[in-house]
Amino acid sequence: MGRLSTVLCGIELDNPVIPASGTYGFGYEFAELYDINCLGTFSFKGTTKDPRFGNPTPRIAESASGMLNAVGLQNPGVDAVIREELPKLKQVFHKPVMANVSGFSVDDYVYTASLLDKEEQVGWLEINISCPNVHGGGMSFGTDPKAAHEVISAVRGAVKKPLIAKLSPNVTDIAAIAKACEDAGADAVSLINTLLGMRIDLRTKKPVLANVTGGLSGPAVFPVAVRMVYQVHRAVSIPVIGMGGVSSAEDVIEMMMAGASAVEIGAANLVDPYVCPKIIEQLPEVMDRFGINRLSDIIGITK
């Protein structure tokens, strides 16, 4: 393994840098800008059983040190992803890719994940359990340990590939949610998803977003993400993927010291589409500055 290498659920990555779902499309869009094979991998756009148009506009709003989004899982549906998107991706990306799966019921998750599990290029299934559970009074799967256990256990029984539970930060005890996912058979957890936020237009006196609330991402959430990664790493024995406001090589190293085996980068891709290759290029210099020989040596080093 090289200086930047890391291992995620038994699959070696050349480096820990992973563009996060929802900020990188299906990859081939960014392949027009640079060779995306420089990445460790990436998590493609959140995919549901059926096509989704998403929420009404406006669904993006700026905020100090971040942004709010309420896109609403816009995607063409799993059948179109398999039929159209993955073949285009295969032409430009030659590593295993992370499939992000969303749903509104346990059956939805199982259906979508089981189809993507059969795709050769899919290396991991990232199960987004922060979507509303419409069969349970609107409660999110990711805010209740029992509900999180239920969906991860059901998907685990239907797929063979490594299963990553993507966790919501909008909880009192994220370690309890992570432990429930581990007990249900998750091979790793990724965190954090966005924090629930809101902005008001002072002129109209109405919410800026048509959805009223949206997910806050960007540098503003980084300290919260580091804290939660640290807590979860100490609570579980499976790998942790850290994300939330990461925008520099120093941020990647901080996340790994907190306990992350790999690091996803989200909103920063929307600010600078070249941010991921820049971070990969800068990592060796930052490692030298702090006396780090290999990134794998610092995972969870902070006590």
Catalytic residues: 131
Whole-angstrom distance, CA of residue 33 vs CA of residue 23:
15
Number of Cβ atoms within 10 Å of the Cβ of 91: 9
Nearest of 153, 154, 147 to residue 171 by alpha carbon = 147
> Strand 260-265 relative to strand 240-242: parallel, antiparallel, unpaired?
parallel
Nearest of 188, 193, 17, 19 to residue 89 by alpha carbon = 19
Indicate the length of the chain as a whole number. Answer: 303
**CA-to-CA dists, residue 88 to 38, 82, 99, 269, angstroms:** 18, 10, 15, 21
- What phi, psi does 110 have (nearest 5°)? -65, -45
Number of Cβ atoms within 10 Å of the Cβ of 242: 32
